[in-house]
Structure formats: C-alpha cells, structure tokens
A and B are shown apart, each in its own frame.
Chain A
Amino acid sequence: MDYTVNTLFADAGEIQADEREALRYLGYGKNLPDEKTKELIAECKAELEKVIAAKCCYVRKPVVLKENALDIGFGEIQSRALQKNLAGCPEVFIFAATIGIGADRLILKYEKTAPAKAVVVDALASSTIEVWCDQVNRLLCENKNSKPRFSPGYGDFDIRHQKDIMALLDTSRKIGLSLTDSMLMTPTKSVTAVIGIY
C-alpha cells in the first residue's frame, strides 16, 4: 500500500472556474446576470485563469478506530461527524489543495481599485478551488468506493486539525500552503479534507 505523500499539479488552463457556482456565491439564485455583468464575469474569468496554479498533496492512511476517537495518521480525533462519515472505511485519503497565491493577488488588486471585479474574481476563485478539489477527488478515488470529502470545520470535526493535516502533508514545503495564527489557510483559496475509501 502506498502511504507516501504525493503531489499533483494541474496543467495551465486545465482547471477553470464554474460560472454557475460563482453566480450562486454572488447571490444570483436562479436569476441570470445582465449583459454588463456577463462581460465583467468573462473579463475576470480570463484574468483569473492566467494566474491559477492548482496544486495538491495527499496521502493514503489506514483508519484506526479507538474508544470514542479515531486515528488517521495524526493523533486522536474526537468527532462523531467524521466517525459517521468514515463508517465502514478501512482507509482514507487526506489531501490539501490550493489554486495558488495568484488568485489572492488579483482579488487584493481589485479590492483596492475596482470592487465589483474583486467580488467577481473572489466568487470565481472560490468556485475554482471546488472544481480542483472535485478533480482531485475523482483522480484519487478512481475505481474505488468513496465517501463524500470531509473537511476540518465540518460539524464537530475541529478546525484545528487543519494544522495536523498540514504538518502531516508538509504542505508549506510541497505546495506552498501555510496557516496564519488564527488558522486561516494562505493562499486563501485552499482546502484540506479527508475522503473515506472502502
């Protein structure tokens, strides 16, 4: 079994924003944007695409069930929700994914100079990291049965385990992903998660 930390990179242009998701984040619901907004979105999407550097590192680990806790490679986790999510899974993938600092840079630039573009790039970038996670999920779980991915901060899965995952995967070194003192991931468009496989 391969318990090594591996890395994945997307090719330039391979990972693109999901416009419909982005519109949802922007509060559109079922409504469609007007022409001017459509233009704005297209412009922002093109700019964002140029700066996306999608990277991921992951590891496969056995699940060890203990009394009221479970261990997937970085000490004991007390979380009923995660335990439920992983029920029947002898193993998990643990991964960290990011679309890189370029998106943050673009958002910051427009926050200062063009707020409408800033919110649109922000929404597009949020959808992009989800697209990248979906892709990672697909690649990892090919030909396997898997559970929906579960991140620190979901339910009672303490967000502080983000730190453990990042240490385990050595994300700072491998994909340039680090944490602030208040447990925010930087670059901000990043995700850590656990996927149960069975």
Chain B
Amino acid sequence: MKIQERIKSKITYFDGGMGTMLQGMGLKPGELPDFWNLTHPDRVLAVHRAYLEAGCNIVKTNTFGACRLDNKAVIIKAGVSLAKQAVSAFKDAGIERYVAFDVGPLGRLLKPYGDLDFEEAVAIFAESVRIAAACGVDLILIETMNDSYETKAAVIAAKENADLPVFVTNVYDETGKLMTGATPGAMVALLEGLGVDAVGINCSLGPEQMLGIVPELLKHASVPVIVNPNAGLPKSADGGTVYDVDADAFSDIMAAFVRMGAAIVGGCCGTTPEYIKKTIEKTKDLPLLPAESKDETVVSSYSRAVYIGNEPVLIGERINPTGKPKIKQALREGNLAYILSEGLSQQEKGAHILDVNVGLPEIDEVKTMAEVVTELQAVTDLPLQIDTVNPAAMEKAMRLYNGKPLVNSVNGTDESMEAIFPLVKKYGGVLIALTIDESGIPDSAEGRLAIAKRIVNRAAAYGIQKKDIIVDPLALTVSSDKNSANITLKALKLIKEKLGVKTSLGVSNISFGLPGREYINSTFFAMALQNGLDCAIMNPFSAEMMKVYYSYRALKGLDDNCAAFIDFASTVTVEQFLPQSAAGSAGAGSDEPLQHAIIKGLKEQAFAKASEMLKTTPPLDVINQQIIPALDIVGKGFEQKTVFLPQLLMSAEAATAAFEAVKSVMNAAAGDCGNKIILATVKGDIHDIGKNIVKVLLQNYGFSVIDLGKDVPPETVRDCARENGIKLIGLSALMTTTVPSMEKTIKLLRQTDPDIKIMVGGAVLTQEYADLIGADYYAKDAMEAVRIAERFFGGGK
C-alpha cells in the first residue's frame, strides 16, 4: 500500500528518537549523529531494527543534520542505505514499512533576521532531496522546523526535486507558536497551500504540553495530522540522561491524541522502542478518524491566519500607484520606506490584509514586486494580497511570500487561467476571480455568474478547490450606468447562493467620476455587505468606510457588547482620517516655528509649519534658513553632549517631514542633486542600525545616499561605486568578527579604485583600528560622519 493511502485508512506509526538513542550508545553531546552512518553503521542499524521490532511503520533516516554538511552526499547515501537495509529485513511480517528521508533545519536563520537567503536555503535542501530520491526513499519528512519561512523553502525544494509524498512537522514552543511566530492555523494554511500530504508537530515540549496544540492542528487540517513528541524534558539519573515522561504515561497521552484524530504518531527526543511499542499496543484497536476536508477560506502571514467568510475582511488598497503620485514617486525612486509606512498605517487603521500593486510601466515589476513583498513581510504581520497582471512578478512574489497569499487576480479568459492556476496549485493561495472574459464584463448578474462558474470548474481541473476562490463580480461606476450597482449587488447574491464561494469587491470603483465619492462608496459598501460581501478592497483611511464597517459589525451581532464600535466611535474624529492635518498649534511662542518643531522633534508640526511657510517663502530658503540651521543646532548639541541620540533622530525625522513638504512644491528632480555617498554594512554583518542612523542624518544634510543595505560583499560596493562615479564610501561593522570583511572591502577598493575615499564606523572600531585596516576617515558617531562628508565635499551640500 502506498503511504498516501495508508495514512488515510489506518493509524500509522513513526519510529522514535535517534539522536538520544545513539547518545546512549556513546555519541557525545554536540557530536552530530549523522556522522555515525559512516563511523558506526552497525549501531544506527541496530536502532532502526529495534524500532521496527517494536512495530513502527515508518523509519526516519539518520540524516537530521545532513543537509548543512559539505559531505552530505556520502552521509545521506549511507543513511538511506541503512534504513532500507533495516526495513528490507522486516518486509514480510504483514506490516507495511516505509523509509522517510529525514530533513532537519539548516541551523541558520533566514534573511532578514539572519544571513541565509531564501533561494540559497531552497538550493541546499534541493541538493539533499535529489541525493535521497536517487537512493530510493518512500517519503520525505521535513521535521523540527521552528521557522515558517525555512519550512517553506524545504517544502518547495522537496516538491521541485522529487515526486514523493511530503510530510512536515514543526516545533511549537510553550506559547503554542513557532519560534518565529506562526500559529498552528497559519502553518496548516501555508503547508496545505504548498500541497503537503500530512502536517503535524514534533519535538517541542513533552506530549502533555501538546494537548493544546494538536486540537488546533486537527481543527484546521484537511490532511492527516502527525504527532511525534519528546519523552518530556530531560534530566540526569545514574550518570546518564533520562526524560521525565515514561513509556506508560507517554503512550496514554498518545492514545488520547489518536482519539482526538491524530492519524500518524511516533516519538522524538528521548523516546525509545519501548515508547513506540506501548503506543502501538494502546492505539492499534482504535478507529482512525479520517481527516475531513475543512471548508475554510484562509490566507496567512508568517504569524497569523486570516479566515474569510465569518465576518467582513478589509483589504487595504493604498499600496498601488494608480492615482497616487506619492506612491508612484516612491516606486520610481526605490523609496521603500514610504511604501512600508503606507502599509503599517493601513494596519493601524484596521486593515486585515494589505494589497500590494507596484505596476508602473517604467519599472522592473518582477524585481520591484519581490522587493516590496520581502520588505513588507518583514515589518507587518498582516497577510498580503499580491496584485499584478504580470505572471512572472506573480510567481516570484508567491514564491518569496512567507505564508499563503491572496492572489489578485484571475479572470475568465483562457490566457489568465492558464497562467495563474498552476501558480496557485504550486505555491498555494486564495484567488480573486474577476467575472470578466474575452467578451468583456456581462451586463447581467446571470452572465457574471456564468463566468464565475466557469472559473471555478476550470480551477477544479487544476486541483484548486472552491474554498480557495473568492469571486469579485466587479463594481462599475454608477455614473455611466444607473443600474450598475444593482447588477453588481444582484450578481453578488446570486454567485454566493448558487456557487457557495466567498466574494470580494473593489468597492470604490462604484463612484468613479462622481464628486463626494466617499458617500457613495460607503453606502454601496453597506449594501454589498448586506448582500453577502466577504471582503472589500478599500481605503482604511476613509472615515466613511470605517464607520460602515464598525456599524455593520455591531448591527449584525458580530461585535460583543458593541465593544469595537464603542472604541471606534469614542476615539475617532473626522480630522484624524485626513492625511497630514494642517492643524498646528499657534502657541509655540518661537520666532521660528519650523526650527522649533524640528529641534523638538515634532514630526506633524514640522510638516505643517513647513507647508505654511512654503506659501510665502521660496523652497530653498525654507531649507537653508530653517531646516539646516535647526539641524545644526541639534547636531552641535549632540556633539556637546547636551542632546542625545533619540532626540537627534526625532529631529531628523521631523526634518524629513519638513523636506517632504518642500519636495511636494519643488520639481521632483531637484531632490536628487546632492553629492552622492555609498553606505554599506559589510559582508557577514547583519547589524544595520548604526549605518541607518548615518543615512538619515546624511540625507537630512542634503547628501544623496545610495544604501546598499547589510551583509554587502566587497564586489558589490566596488561595482556600485563605479556605476555611480562615487568618491566617498561609508562602511559599517559592528562585530570584531566582521571587521576583517571591512578590511577586505577597503583592500579591494584600494587595488582598483585608489582615489575613492572611505570612512568607517561601528561599535568595535576606533581611530587606531581604522588606521590599521587602511580607512581614510573614522567616524565615531553619525554626526561625525556628516562632518566628514561636509569637509570632503567642501562645506555642506
């Protein structure tokens, strides 16, 4: 029987701990068990045999740590061969036996929190999977993963490089989440999206501590659930290590898991053949509760799952250049900070999901989409909706996305369906399906239903379930057809009733071409909700829309004690929703209110005062007579130790806000004339904070900064310097271990581009150290870096 069939028809048993068994046979703590495949094959074989004798079905190869090794090929080959050898001796006992290629984590954290690139992780796993698949295994077990992103890399590698069933078990900590934050529901969403055959939990704490987590997995999973706990926590006894849950207690809890619905059970650290034997004895006569398909429409981020259908879901629409000059400008300039802020402020206003659209004809959409998704998912825990008509950009973003995304969109044309369905099948996602096809948008509800039906049926042929499709029956402006809202609402209701799918609308399209759009939008939003709308792509900054949202929830009985509504109504004022209100206080009492605002670090006030001044004062005068002098006062204070780093930066942020106001009245090109400086945190170093402070200040002082980020190879610095004709470079390193990398960068530049000057800074650096590694200047802090740049370029800007 194939393993995929077996797990759906009978309770299936994994073996138990390998590493801890080998430690009992003399493996030293800290020594990698995998090496014993070569040095002590007899002992590894003995462990496999003991577990098979105990009655387990699946033997894990002794390759948990192999993926990260240079000599992985020999170790994996030996490991698979030992497991197969053991299993072949037990083939005829009437018990099905399988060999699982065991894949553990790489022991390095992925970017941006560590130094391992996502695609590099995929490549490392892929190599191992190919080796194991060539040796002939029955399935791949990806286990003990404590990071959702690394888990995704491993699953993609397994799927792309072998045609084998993939099982995944994660480690949940005492808070019931992965180390990097995912809930069981979020992991189920991600993993089922990627098409794994079974999901579960292993290692972690003892079996008892899993009692809260396993039901969560069972509640959401449509595939069989695996439970492989440790034998509790380790303690010392009689000179050795034992675990505090014995085989009797362990097997009792395992039986409880099977009664709850776990289909695949076994053990992890500290368990022995006795634990497995007793677990089998206590569960072999229990019925298997087959995993039921859960009708959940769910998207996820690195930490949370958002379920669509129970109550209205708001999709923030603001990261989209259409009709938004500031986003356009930010995308053109590669100013990701602005886009990230736009995302975060929508989250603050109450968005549940963020739409991401970066489509501009003049930019490389594939690259930009990947960048924005990568950066955005590092700062927000909201799921993202990837919004593009470019299939290559869609694929790249779906691959790099740390979760199960919303995919915006597919339509009823063959071209669209053929491009998008395979991506959703491979990477997972919930699709927004637009009711438009080759002949356009039908002007009847029935016509739109027909397209929706066709999309759902066609998706089924690709193995995409109805629950992963959200139909958007399209809102068209009521200004050109007085019936358009009626048709959309009717279609909404019809599609929901006849097809049983979830629905979505880009609400604000309804008012295109009309004045007072918010009034129409919000009324239409209320009508649509009443007709069964599940998600709205909307502007969370619209007070009118949020009023409808909170009122609807209260009226619909979705808001206990009207708590959320009361909270909203008591704190909200219309003014708060206006972007950058100009309501500054007149009582600052200073002769120079803008300077005052910058010195005090008051961001909103600085923007308002600058805007006010710009009505009567030329932009350059605002910069030279107000912003720069204010910065100088703060900067000097910092040098004299009367002003400290947080204040310096608050002032810098206020100055940035004032610059924003200036920029909006000047030509966009005028902001780009400053002397250029490259900043980079050197290869190997992922501490970026010091360099970022320097960047903010340099920009404030009118320098144009090319920020290469962190962990930057020497060659990248040189190439960028050449491309841009750079004369001054700033390098940062925080650790003694990364200063050599700084030295390497300097050496490379000296060899090939000797007239470039280099300033260095960072926690461990000193003037002596800087001299030693051949730097031209040492900046002890960020202000010093500004002064160096000023001197270098000859007095300020």
A positions within 8 Å CB-CB of B: 1-7, 9, 12, 26-29, 31, 33-34, 36-37, 40-41, 53, 55, 59, 73-74, 100-102, 104-105, 107-109, 111-116, 118-120, 122, 153, 159, 164, 167-168, 170, 172-173, 176, 178-184, 186-188
B71 within 8 A of A: no
A105, B379: Cα distance in complex, Å = 7
Q: A108-B113, A116-B653 are in contact. Are A176 and B736 (CB under 8 A)?
A: no
Q: A115-B649, A116-B601 are in contact. Are A4 and B236 (CB under 8 A)?
A: yes
| Interfacial residues of chain B within 634-660, with CB under 8 A of chain A in the complex | 641-642, 644-647, 649-650, 652-653
Q: Which residues of B contact A7 (CB under 8 A)?
A: 233
Q: Which residues of B contact A28 (CB under 8 A)?
A: 644
> B114–A26 contact, CB under 8 A?
no
Nearest A-chain residue to B649, judged by Cβ: A116
> A33–B646 contact, CB under 8 A?
yes
Report the minimal beta-carbon distance from A196 to chain B, rounded to whole angstroms. 20
> B646–A37 contact, CB under 8 A?
yes
A27, B642: Cα distance in complex, Å = 10
A74, B171: Cα distance in complex, Å = 26
Report the minimal beta-carbon distance from B279 to chain A, rounded to whole angstroms. 22
A73, B28: Cα distance in complex, Å = 10
A41, B735: Cα distance in complex, Å = 26
> B650–A105 contact, CB under 8 A?
no
> B146–A176 contact, CB under 8 A?
yes
> B646–A116 contact, CB under 8 A?
yes
Q: Mark B547-585, 1 if CB is under 8 A from A, else 0.
A: 000000000000000000000000000000000000000
Q: Which residues of B contact A53 (CB under 8 A)?
A: 173, 175, 179
Report the minimal beta-carbon distance from B587 to chain A, rounded to whole angstroms. 17
> A115–B696 contact, CB under 8 A?
yes
> A6–B234 contact, CB under 8 A?
yes
> A29–B641 contact, CB under 8 A?
yes
Among candidates A122, A176, A184, residue contacting B685 with C-beta atoms closer than 8 Å: A184
Report the minimal beta-carbon distance from A64 to chain B, rounded to whole angstroms. 14
Q: Which residues of A contact B646 (CB under 8 A)?
A: 26, 33, 37, 40-41, 116, 119-120
Q: Mark B601-614, 1 if CB is under 8 A from A, else 0.
A: 10000000000000
Q: Which residues of B contact A101 (CB under 8 A)?
A: 109, 113, 179-181
A8, B738: Cα distance in complex, Å = 31
A168, B236: Cα distance in complex, Å = 16
Most buried by B among A37, A53, A168, A172: A172
| Interfacial residues of chain B within 99-141, with CB under 8 A of chain A in the complex | 105, 107-109, 112-116
> B641–A31 contact, CB under 8 A?
yes
Report the minimal beta-carbon distance from B411 to chain A, rounded to whole angstroms. 34
B423 within 8 A of A: no
A149, B761: Cα distance in complex, Å = 29
Among candidates B108, B113, B336, B645, residue contacting A187 with C-beta atoms closer than 8 Å: B113
> A182–B115 contact, CB under 8 A?
yes
B482 within 8 A of A: no
Among candidates B379, B380, B686, residue contacting A186 with C-beta atoms closer than 8 Å: B686
Nearest B-chain residue to A160, judged by Cβ: B737
Q: Which residues of B contact A59 (CB under 8 A)?
A: 29
B368 within 8 A of A: no
Q: A40-B646, A164-B30 are in contact. Are A182 and B684 (CB under 8 A)?
A: yes
> A36–B109 contact, CB under 8 A?
no
Q: Which residues of B contact A118 (CB under 8 A)?
A: 649, 689, 692
Q: A112-B340, A178-B114 are in contact. Are A37 and B30 (CB under 8 A)?
A: no
A31, B647: Cα distance in complex, Å = 13
B664 within 8 A of A: no
A14, B173: Cα distance in complex, Å = 17
B73 within 8 A of A: no
> A113–B114 contact, CB under 8 A?
no
A37-B650, A113-B341, A181-B684 are known contacts; what are 11 more A-B pairs with Cβ within 8 Å?
A: A5-B29, A7-B233, A53-B173, A53-B175, A107-B689, A113-B344, A118-B649, A168-B29, A173-B171, A182-B737, A186-B686
Q: Which residues of B contact A167 (CB under 8 A)?
A: 30
A81, B692: Cα distance in complex, Å = 35
Q: Which residues of B contact A31 (CB under 8 A)?
A: 641-642, 644
Nearest B-chain residue to A114, judged by Cβ: B653
Nearest A-chain residue to B302, judged by Cβ: A105
> B735–A184 contact, CB under 8 A?
yes
> B689–A119 contact, CB under 8 A?
yes
Among candidates A26, A178, A182, A188, residue contacting B738 with C-beta atoms closer than 8 Å: A182
B688 within 8 A of A: yes
B144 within 8 A of A: yes
Q: Which residues of B contact A113 (CB under 8 A)?
A: 337, 340-341, 344, 379
Q: Which residues of A contact B693 (CB under 8 A)?
A: 115, 119
Nearest B-chain residue to A60, judged by Cβ: B236
Q: Which residues of A contact B458 (CB under 8 A)?
A: none
A160, B781: Cα distance in complex, Å = 28
| Interfacial residues of chain B within 33-71, with CB under 8 A of chain A in the complex | none
| Interfacial residues of chain B within 73-91, with CB under 8 A of chain A in the complex | none
A173, B646: Cα distance in complex, Å = 37
Most buried by B among A27, A73, A120: A27
A28, B174: Cα distance in complex, Å = 37
B493 within 8 A of A: no
Nearest B-chain residue to A162, judged by Cβ: B737
A29, B653: Cα distance in complex, Å = 24
A172, B337: Cα distance in complex, Å = 32
> B601–A4 contact, CB under 8 A?
no
Report the minimal beta-carbon distance from B682 to chain A, rounded to whole angstroms. 9
Q: Which residues of B contact A6 (CB under 8 A)?
A: 233-235
> B114–A180 contact, CB under 8 A?
yes
Q: A37-B647, A115-B692 are in contact. Are A186 and B114 (CB under 8 A)?
A: yes
11 CB < 8 A contacts A-B:
A29-B641, A33-B644, A36-B601, A59-B29, A105-B113, A109-B344, A116-B650, A119-B689, A172-B105, A176-B147, A180-B115
Q: Which residues of A contact B340 (CB under 8 A)?
A: 112-113
B378 within 8 A of A: yes
Q: A112-B337, A122-B689 are in contact. Are A34 and B113 (CB under 8 A)?
A: no
> A119–B645 contact, CB under 8 A?
yes
Report the minimal beta-carbon distance from B303 to chain A, rounded to whole angstroms. 10
A168, B114: Cα distance in complex, Å = 21
Most buried by B among A59, A73, A109, A111: A111
> A36–B600 contact, CB under 8 A?
yes
Q: Which residues of B contact A41 (CB under 8 A)?
A: 646
B687 within 8 A of A: yes
A137, B768: Cα distance in complex, Å = 35
B741 within 8 A of A: yes
> A178–B692 contact, CB under 8 A?
no
Q: Which residues of B contact A183 (CB under 8 A)?
A: 735, 737
> A37–B644 contact, CB under 8 A?
yes
Q: Mark B428-442, 1 if CB is under 8 A from A, else 0.
A: 000000000000000
A2, B234: Cα distance in complex, Å = 10
B354 within 8 A of A: no
A93, B688: Cα distance in complex, Å = 32
Report the minimal beta-carbon distance from B781 to chain A, rounded to whole angstroms. 8
> A184–B686 contact, CB under 8 A?
yes
Q: Which residues of B contact A178 (CB under 8 A)?
A: 107-109, 114
Q: Which residues of A contact B410 (CB under 8 A)?
A: none
